[in-house]
Structure 1
Amino acid sequence: MMQQMYPQVFHDFQYELNKDMHIAAAHYIPSDAAGKCKQVHGHTYFVNVTVAGDDLDEAGFLVNFKDLKVLLHDKFDHTILNDHLDVFRPDNPDFFPTTEVVARTMWETVENHLSALPNKPTCLQVFVRETPTSYVVYRPKKKRKKDQ
């Protein structure tokens, strides 16, 4: 059983759902500045996805836990992240599979799925722990009134 504490997101939604998963994957960072991480190496990533909303679907779910697992675990587990050229690219640091970019990519994957659901839940954050001492939390920036 996984037991993990992760940063809370304060919100006004009625429901909050959290899905934890482990993803075993390898990667490398294609930059000399990455030091040892330029070499292929692996991690057992701990991932937590936080979804919130006000309305449940026809089955009484905010979102089905299984769908979140399929979107992330089934796609990335036991793979080399760099091979996922649909989301990671070797020629642009904004798309290298760093923990920061992995977290953002997972958020984008989940949010794209959620936005197509009739009950319109939203992904508030994705937490990705790469090692016992290092993790990243990705939260989308809220749009400012002047940006809308």
Structure 2
Amino acid sequence: MIQQIYPQVQHSYQFELNKDMHISAAHYIPHDDAGKCQNVHGHTYFVNLTIAGDDLDDSGFLVNFASLKKLVHKRFDHTILNDHSELFSNQDPDYFPTTEGIARVIWEVVQKELDTKANKPKCVQVFVRETPTSYVVFRPKQKGRQE
């Protein structure tokens, strides 16, 4: 595996973990300005999740790496992203399956699960590389506490 260097997110948490994974998936962008990307095509996306927190769970983990892979890889790998109509939209451009939209949706899926954990970890960054030369970083807006 090639070692990746990611943009760093500043936070004040004690622990930070990063989980890398690849997702092979197809999509299309339902907009005239998307050009050739209006047609169904695929990518091998590289995804990095950055999770941070101050407290470990009863198992000694901030978050179990396997649970993160299940949330993202198992759900999206070898699928057509547009078919996930509960997450992506063909009408709302904020939820088109662009790289930006994919990064936001992954954050929403992961953070929803993290919110159920007693130790309250936070997904502070989602990095999605669509091609060798193009990637997106999604960082949620912080409410209240300055991280």
TM-score (structure 2 length as normaliser)? 0.96
Give secondary structure in 2 for the equivalent of 1:45: strand
**What is the rounded CA distance, in whole Å, between the counterparts of 2:143 and 2:16 in structure 1?**
21
Cα-Cα RMSD: 1.1
1:3 aligns with 2:3: yes
- The answer as to 2:28 corresponding to 1:28 is yes
Mark the runs of 5 or more structure 1 residues left unpaired by the alignment.
Answer: none
State the identity %: 68
Residues of 2 paired with 1:129 and 1:97: CA distance? 13
How far apart in 2 are the matches of 1:125 and 1:91?
A: 26
1:1-148 residue pairs with structure 2 within 5 A? 1-143=1-143
Structure 1 stretches of 4+ with a deviation exceeding 3 A read: none
- Partner of 1:100: helix, strand, or coil? helix
SS at match of 2:43: strand
Q: Partner amino acid for 1:102?
A: I
Find the aligned partners of 2:2 and 2:110 in 1 and give their Cα distance.
Answer: 21
TM-score by length of 1: 0.95
| Distance in 2 of aligned mates of 1:144 and 1:133 | 35
1:49 counterpart letter in structure 2: L
Deviations 1:40-87 (A, max 9, x none): 100000000000001000110000001100100000000000000010
Unaligned runs of 5+ in 2: none
- How many residue pairs get matched? 145
